[in-house]
Structure 1
Amino acid sequence: MLLIYTGNGKGKTSACVGQAIRALGQGLTVAFGQFMKRGDQAGEQEMLAKLLGERFLASGAGFYRDTDFDTHREKATQLLCWAGELLDRGVDMLVLDEALYALNHGLLMEEELRELITRCKDQGRHLVLSGRGAPSWIVELADIVSDITEVKHVYAQGGKARRGIEF
């Protein structure tokens, strides 16, 4: 199955983590990769690394700026190669957090993502993608799409990111 978590609201990564935990609880083998995010940014990364070991990778270069395109593109390519290797090893579920963000900024190419989707489908693997702005072609291919909408966020009132909440 192809599952998509998209939208402007907070919780897409949390939904991905929850999906991974659910699959692990049912005995599935899970790999979890994060585009854009460095491995030292968020609390879920420490827990996923403990649970998944080498099947977890946060290979990003951090916040994206157009001047950093080459670095971010290289990191995205590394994550794609890692994902392909884990599919070759037979993981049941591949979670790629912020894949849609990487796609929308040209760091991940449409043809690369289409190939990965096809490969997962042909192998009977579950693929979970997250990020804002899911393009219509992915929505059409997906089996499940959740659009997470922001109703209210502390940032709008000038609040700051808090440990254990936003990271």
Structure 2
Amino acid sequence: MLLIYTGNGKGKTSACVGQAIRALGQGLAVAFGQFMKRGDLAGEQTMLAELLGEDFLASGAGFFRDNDFDTHREKAAQLLRWADARVEQGVDMLILDETLYALHHGLLLEEEVRGLVQRCQDRGCHLVLSGRGAPAWMVELADIVSDITEVKHVYAKGGKARRGIEF
């Protein structure tokens, strides 16, 4: 199955983590990768690394800036190679957080993502993707799409990111 968590609301990564926990609880082999996010910044990374070991990778270069495109593109390509290796090794579920963000900025190409979707389908591997702005072609391919909508967020009033809430 192809599952997508998209939308402007907070909770896409949390939904991915929850999906990983549910699958692990059912005895499935799970691999979890994060585009864009550097390792050791967010609380979920500590727990996922402990649970998954080599089957967790946060390979991002941090916040995207156009003047650093090549670095971000190489980091995205590194995670894509890692993901392909996990699919080849036979994981039951591959979760790739912030895929849509990387796709939107051209760090991943549509054909690369389509190829990964196909490889997962061919191997019977559930694929979970997240990020804002799921393109129509991806929504069409997906089995489940959840659009997480922001109703209210402290940022609108100038609030800061809080440890254990946003990271």
Report the equivalent of 2:41.
Answer: 41
What residue ranges of structure 1 are gaps of 5+ in the alignment?
Answer: none
Alignment match, 2:154:
154
TM-score by length of 2: 0.99
User: Match of 2:134, SS?
Assistant: coil
Report what 2:107 is aligned to.
107
User: Residue 131 of structure 1 corresponds to which residue in structure 2?
Assistant: 131
Q: Which residue in the other structure is 2:30 paired with?
A: 30
- Which residue does the alignment assign to 1:166? 166
Could you tell me which residue of structure 2 aligns to residue 141 of structure 1? 141
Alpha-carbon deviation of 1:41?
A: 1.2
Letter in 2 for 1:96: L
Offset from partner CA, 1:128-166 (integer Å, 9 cap, x none): 000000000000000000000000000001110000000
Distance 1:68 1:133 in 2: 22
Structure 2 counterpart of 1:14:
14
> Partners of 1:118 and 1:7 in 2: how far apart?
24
Once the two structures are TM-superposed, the CA of residue 115 in structure 1 deviates from its matched residue by: 0.2
SS at 1:24's partner residue?
helix
Partner of 2:82: 82
Deviation at 1:89, TM superposition (A): 0.7
> For 2:147 and 2:61, how far apart are their aligned partners in 1?
26
Could you give the per-residue CA deviations for residues 41-100 of structure 1, whole angstroms, max 9, x where no partner exists?
Answer: 100000000000000000000000100100000000000000011111100000000000
- TM-score, normalised via structure 1 length: 0.99
What residue number does 1:50 align with? 50
Report the alpha carbon displacement of residue 5 of structure 1 after superposing the two structures with TM: 0.1
Aligned residues: 167
Q: Percent identity?
A: 83
Aligned-residue offset at 1:122: 1.0
Paired letter, 1:22? R
- The CA distance in 2 between the partners of 1:29 and 1:56, in whole Å, is 12
Structure 2: runs of 5 or more not aligned: none
